[in-house]
Amino acid sequence: MRSMIPDYLDEVLAGVRADASGQTASYIPELAAADPERLAAAFATADGEVYGSGDVDVEFTIQSISKPFAYALALSDRGVEPVLAKIGVEPSGEAFNEISLESDTGRPRNPMINAGALTAHTLAGGARLDAGERVERVVEGLSAFAGRPLEIDEAVWASEMAHAHRNLAIAHMLRSHAIITEDPMGVVDGYTRQCSVLVTTRDLAMMAATLANGGVNPLTNEQVVDAAVVRQVLSVMATCGMYDAAGDWATRVGIPAKSGVAGGLIGALPGQVGIATFSPRLDVHGNSVRGVSLFERFTSDMGMHVMEVPPPARAVVRSNKVRGEGDAATRILRLQGGIRFAGAERVVREVVDSAPTEPRVVLDVSLVHSIDDVARRILLEVVRRLTLDGHDVYLVDPERVMPDPDPGDGGRLTVVDDLQHALQPERGSAVSAQHVLGESQIPSGQSAVDHDRGTSG
């Protein structure tokens, strides 16, 4: 069989190709001269498969799409609080090059408008770097997101620098508020080099996929930034990535995104896919006209809106049965799917409602593919309470989807590879709490809900 995904991409590109509305960016002569007919779209999955259609290997400058990545580097290199002290996270509802700062603090409103992006550029890398080393850090960081070494287009850089009066004005304002402490000219120079990094649509899809994959580049497997940084970046992309069209985008498309004035556009769908499009003609907000249409199409065809409500967790409990009788009776709860808070709550309710009297209780997670942290804590507390109620509890977990299965004080859990081992108990490996009831030994943050009940004997 041939994959239908490239066919689909061909078809959606054909659907928007005829739209010649909008204009290439006029304020950067090199961009104004770009071929406006270029058109490309690419998907990169969180496990590294790339699908493309159209001019996916044509290079163009990254422009503002560098902003979320430079912000990620700043957060990673300096920490969240020092960055927040200098750059806000409020949507500005303003154009990308608006000359505005928060009236009380002088902070740029967010890192996606130029004022915030100029500041973020100065925060990438350590505090002691000079302007050249800072640019090196940024280019190396962008390359790590893309999974290949990227280079600066000197012609585009020079072309923008010759007309950079507005960014210089912003940088001088930032300097006057001591938001940046370096020479404004050098900052604009470095930021403009950052914007002049050459990428292809394929690169951009991979950069977006690195965000979608929690900061790990799917090709190189490098952890470029950590998951907490990615969450911060995706949140800001979702609220501010499309400038004064951000609300419209959030409702119509609903994918954390960022546009650039060379015509690139990226979207990162957490846990699934990085998407990139390229088409140089821009709308009045500076967003690619056909890029926006393509993303609208992707969302409506494939339900990619991040606020799309997923099916409820009802199906987490696949079955709840009793095997054997008397002393040999075993209650078996078979769970399935991915378990998060709501799924774990369904399991709690199932156990509470069935009030097991059998000596043994088995939680079978062989068909579960993931258990997040809150679900893990809740399920282990179920185990602990069942132990305290006098049951022997088993976890059938051949793939070890339950990380660190220690139920804590007074809990006892035997982890086995299959149901047969649970029914013949001598063959499992027991994980039991080493401490007596009433002494909480679980580190905070790991502790399961409501530890007091049952332990304060």
Minimum distance from CB of 54 to ligand GLN (Å)?
21
The whole-angstrom separation of Cα 341 and Cα 379 is: 10
Binding mask 108-147 for ligand GLN (x = CB under 6 A): ------x---------------------------------
Q: Which of 265/333 has CB closer to ligand GLN?
A: 265
Q: Which of 97/446 has CB closer to ligand GLN?
A: 97
**Residues 448, 408: contact at Cβ < 8 Å?**
yes
Tokens of 159: 């072309």
Instruction: Give how far the C-alpha of residue 23 lies from the chain's centroid of Cα atoms, to the nearest Å.
Output: 31
Q: Which of 55/189 has CB closer to ligand GLN?
A: 189
Alpha helix stretches (DSSP H) within 18-130: 29-32, 66-78, 80-84, 114-123
Minimum distance from CB of 90 to ligand GLN (Å)?
19
Minimum distance from CB of 165 to ligand GLN (Å)?
11
Binding residues with ligand GLN: total (CB under 6 A): 11
DSSP 126-195: -TT--HHHHHHHHHHHHHHHHTS---B-HHHHHHHHTTTHHHHHHHHHHHHTTS--S-HHHHHHHHHHHH
| 345 burial via Cβ count (<10 Å: 0-12, 13-18, 19+) | middle
The residue from 51, 71, 96, 249 that contacts ligand GLN (CB under 6 A) is 96
The whole-angstrom separation of Cα 127 and Cα 123 is: 7
**Residues 304, 274: contact at Cβ < 8 Å?**
no
- Judged by DSSP in three states, 116 sits in helix
**What type of residue sits at position 58?**
V
Give the residue numbers marked as catalytic: 64, 67, 191, 243, 261
Site for ligand GLN in 48-87 (CB under 6 A): 63-64
Q: Which of 169/419 has CB closer to ligand GLN?
A: 169
The whole-angstrom separation of Cα 1 and Cα 279 is: 31
Binding mask 300-329 for ligand GLN (x = CB under 6 A): ------------------------------
Q: Which of 27/341 has CB closer to ligand GLN?
A: 27
| Bridge partner list, 368 | 337
The residue from 260, 263, 274, 356 that contacts ligand GLN (CB under 6 A) is 260
The residue from 70, 195, 289, 413 that contacts ligand GLN (CB under 6 A) is 195
Q: Is 92 in the site for ligand GLN (CB under 6 A)?
A: no
Tokens of 431: 């994980």
Instruction: Give how far the C-alpha of residue 67 lies from the chain's centroid of Cα atoms, to the nearest Å.
Output: 15
Q: Which of 73/195 has CB closer to ligand GLN?
A: 195
**Residues 397, 403: contact at Cβ < 8 Å?**
no
Minimum distance from CB of 195 to ligand GLN (Å)?
4
DSSP summary character for residue 275:
E
The whole-angstrom separation of Cα 30 and Cα 366 is: 57
Q: Which of 156/205 has CB closer to ligand GLN?
A: 156
Other beta carbons less than 10 A from residue 251's beta carbon: 10
Minimum distance from CB of 69 to ligand GLN (Å)?
13
Minimum distance from CB of 152 to ligand GLN (Å)?
12
Q: Is 215 in the site for ligand GLN (CB under 6 A)?
A: no
Q: Is 279 in the site for ligand GLN (CB under 6 A)?
A: no
**Residues 55, 39: contact at Cβ < 8 Å?**
yes
The residue from 97, 100, 272, 354 that contacts ligand GLN (CB under 6 A) is 97
β-strands 412-416, 317-323 pairing: unpaired
Site for ligand GLN in 397-456 (CB under 6 A): none
Minimum distance from CB of 205 to ligand GLN (Å)?
18
φ, ψ at 341 (rounded to 5°): -55, -55
The residue from 167, 288, 299, 414 that contacts ligand GLN (CB under 6 A) is 167
Q: Is 98 in the site for ligand GLN (CB under 6 A)?
A: no
Instruction: State which residue has the least CB distance to ligand GLN.
Output: 64
Minimum distance from CB of 34 to ligand GLN (Å)?
13
| Bridge partner list, 282 | 23, 288
**Residues at the contact surface with ligand GLN, assessed by CB under 6 A:** 63-64, 96-97, 114, 160, 167, 195, 260-261, 286
